[in-house]
Structure 1
């Protein structure tokens, strides 16, 4: 006899499975508006059917994947105790990540940039100075789509991984990307295993951690299928929080992939504040690791980091502020003022979130790191959907159901706003996805979410609504 609970569970599981299956099919179909072509020998991985699907079809499939995935995730988190055993969730998510490693990346063309920067290193060029447009005839570098005039903005460890992939892939974009996909899948799986270990004493928390990371359809869409370097940076900093040994080196490696994950380091710093010797050891080893990486890469490796810190993305609420200032005061980018205001907002949100977490007792490293990570995501003027992966990984270590809702809605909205993040080969008549959805609807939605987050944190700080990790 089919019970109401069985129907409910089947519906949630079906929506999540359908979302992940749609993500897999988009990549499997091959080059499209969602999947950039990968030049190389056809027998080389990653593989696809090469059917060249219609752009409107794959974008609609991606939108369905996002909506179904967000609904399944939200309901699953609300009833985590009813979900299957965490070991099955872990196995399923890891298998999905491995399968996607053998299919072309989807959603954006960032992986073409990664391949190009790695190729520059193997050819003896400095990717922090050279731009793809300088080497248009190269079979790998010439494949870059949007970032043709931009040097690398990634850290030295990321560049080292890209260079290793280029050494193996040679002049094949396809094989170079595949090597990077294997590294990305390894990082995704490693993070899943670390979170599984961290929550080992509580079966419900284990299910929750798997839902937030391993079988999270939105993260599968962005990090496993999209193959963004954020996955590697997240793996290092989560390892630093879970493993303990070599914490400073792991934090340093994460920062040397992507500087912004350095906020996580303030979590261990807070936790060790009463142990000056241990704090000095962790801080010193992290600093030395970062310095060594950037010294090897050269001083130019920091130039684009400074430039990127003043950038504004279309879907951020700060674009609304910029437009308002231009209307009221006059022409200008106002980037310095927006940057300063974003720092103030980051500090305010971090304070409110930390106060909310502290109501239940002593703060630990994951809570502080989560507060700072979430505050940064909601405050930064430049944000893309896959940046949210860091917050979901940290949230898997801290029980806070209210934040679940904010982050799921935020990532779903951002994901719909970047359908797709790739600019080339887009169908005619869909320009409104950028001019209306990404530029107007999403910023207002994120502004409302930011106000809601601040209101909740303020009230939670007064009433103590969060539970201990």
Structure 2
């Protein structure tokens, strides 16, 4: 593509596809209960609001597919055009950030889209308000409760979320009372606030470089995939991302600990500050100590069972990851469960190798910094955090599309690199695999979206993407080593 085509990507294709995808996401939510939007019991005068048109499942799934595919095209066009085109106008970048924040605000007043996880959040908060332990008590144990009884899929699963997430859920339940609708609305407000805070932090941390600011806006604030999965989907990952991004910006162990106490896997980000301050024991002790104390206090208050379900979930294999292919192959030979330790070991080894390769490529200036100009200081911490998180996402046996929000936020904190395309491609594939993530009310003739796309096509495509990432990172590091020699 030449400069003229890059200009078209930046000025025409990207805005049209990005705006269209975000508007489609808003439309899906505004139409009301459907295959994509679980119903919210409660008085209709309470938010979130919708037109309550109850559209056909085929229509809303098709709209979501267009939003995901079109959004991915717009995002890629925008990132490509930014790399090839002239420096962007700072005022237009501010408008992008404002538009993304406005979209998140609008979605806060509409029902969540794509999965039924918010019903689980409401139930766990309700269980806590009732004086029970959400890490032991499952929603089906209180079947006649109007909030716990609304859970669709995790009726027999205790909470897997951290104590800070449970605290937010309990606050929402205290405000919402018997109304699922009002409880979810409080959760959507918190989610929107976290999304907006992250967008503003990323805009601030990239100040002084118009290109990086525009890229940060594209990767988070107006990223149609992020808006769809995290702003409209209302997952706790949004809150966890806000905490760890803030922790990296101000180097706060307390904020890092709060993020971990929302979702324990974001603790991988801690390796960034740890690496940066490896030669400054006092600073390292301060950050690590305050983070550890924050997490310890949160989990102590939550009780002895707060980590039980997290440990169990770590043994699971989700449908769309390449490890599902490995699982099925091993199932043909071994009894159920005999392969779990092998998959866990294999994923850990892949994560270690990929982390090392990405860090080596980063040191060569191929990840997150201009060639020959590796990041240092705060940038170095962000690079290390990014490398480890990306390695984990590509290696973990259990992953869902909204998990990738963390990688995109970290990616927005460092300069552009080839890694952008791998992370964007992965989130697009996983988003296509979970159209929708919700199981109830799906048109029977669309079952192939699960049996073919989610369990066959996407795992193979992600396997190919993972192999390509390993190959690229290995070559980038090897070329730099050759030049130094």
Query: What range describes the TM-score normalised by the shorter chain of this pair?
Result: over 0.9
Shift of 1:86: 1.5
- Are 1:446 and 2:446 an aligned pair? no
Q: Provide the residue aligned with 2:271 in structure 1.
A: 266
Q: Provide the residue aligned with 2:74 in structure 1.
A: 72
- 8 Å contact 1:322–1:333 — kept in the other structure? no
- With 6-15 and 219-228 compared, the bigger mean Cα shift is at 6-15
- 8 Å contact 1:357–1:464 — kept in the other structure? no
SS at match of 1:401: coil
Shift of 1:407: 1.2
Query: How is 1:298-313 mapped onto 2 (pairs within 5 angstroms)?
Result: 298-313=303-318
Please list the CA deviations of residues 223-243 of structure 1 after superposition, one character each: whole Å capped at 9, or x if unmatched.
000000000000000001112
Distance, in Å, in 2 between the alignment partners of 1:12 and 1:57 is: 24
- 8 Å contact 1:322–1:334 — kept in the other structure? yes
Q: Provide the residue aligned with 1:400 in structure 2.
A: 416
- With 8-17 and 286-295 compared, the bigger mean Cα shift is at 8-17
Query: How is 1:22-171 mapped onto 2 (pairs within 5 angstroms)?
Result: 22-80=24-82, 81=85, 85-171=92-178
Scaled by the length of structure 1, the TM-score of the pair is: 0.96
Q: 1:293 aligns with which of 286, 298, 312?
A: 298
- 8 Å contact 2:13–2:77 — kept in the other structure? no
SS at match of 1:299: coil
Cα RMSD, aligned residues only: 1.4
- 8 Å contact 2:6–2:81 — kept in the other structure? no
- 8 Å contact 1:108–1:421 — kept in the other structure? yes
- With 456-465 and 122-131 compared, the bigger mean Cα shift is at 456-465
Shift of 1:463: 2.6
Distance, in Å, in 1 between the alignment partners of 2:306 and 2:5 is: 57
Shift of 1:362: 5.2
Shift of 1:324: 1.3
Q: 2:325 aligns with which of 320, 325, 340?
A: 320
Shift of 1:78: 1.2
Q: Provide the residue aligned with 1:257 in structure 2.
A: 262
* Runs of 4+ residues deviating >3 angstroms: 3-8, 81-84, 328-333, 360-363
Please list the CA deviations of residues 79-118 of structure 1 after superposition, one character each: whole Å capped at 9, or x if unmatched.
2255553211111100000000000000000000000000
Shift of 1:139: 0.5
Distance, in Å, in 1 between the alignment partners of 2:267 and 2:388 is: 10
Distance, in Å, in 2 between the alignment partners of 1:349 and 1:10 is: 36
SS at match of 1:429: helix
Q: Provide the residue aligned with 1:459 in structure 2.
A: 475
Scaled by the length of structure 2, the TM-score of the pair is: 0.93
- Are 1:224 and 2:224 an aligned pair? no
Shift of 1:330: 5.3
Q: How many residues align?
A: 461
Query: Cα 1:252–1:67, aligned 2, differ >3 Å: closer, same or farther?
Result: same
Query: Cα 1:99–1:340, aligned 2, differ >3 Å: closer, same or farther?
Result: same
- 8 Å contact 2:118–2:235 — kept in the other structure? yes
> What are structure 1's unaligned runs of at least 5 residues?
none
Q: Provide the residue aligned with 1:209 in structure 2.
A: 216
Shift of 1:29: 0.1
Shift of 1:26: 0.2
Q: 1:248 aligns with which of 250, 253, 260?
A: 253
Query: Cα 1:321–1:51, aligned 2, differ >3 Å: closer, same or farther?
Result: same
Distance, in Å, in 1 between the alignment partners of 2:334 and 2:231 is: 44
Q: Provide the residue aligned with 1:338 in structure 2.
A: 343
- With 228-237 and 6-15 compared, the bigger mean Cα shift is at 6-15
Query: Cα 1:283–1:7, aligned 2, differ >3 Å: closer, same or farther?
Result: closer
Q: Provide the residue aligned with 2:371 in structure 1.
A: none
Shift of 1:399: 1.8
Q: Provide the residue aligned with 1:191 in structure 2.
A: 198
Distance, in Å, in 1 between the alignment partners of 2:5 and 2:340 is: 54
Please list the CA deviations of residues 365-415 of structure 1 after superposition, one character each: whole Å capped at 9, or x if unmatched.
100000000000000000000000000000001123311111111111111
Please list the CA deviations of residues 190-245 of structure 1 after superposition, one character each: whole Å capped at 9, or x if unmatched.
0011111100010110000000000000000000000000000000000011123x
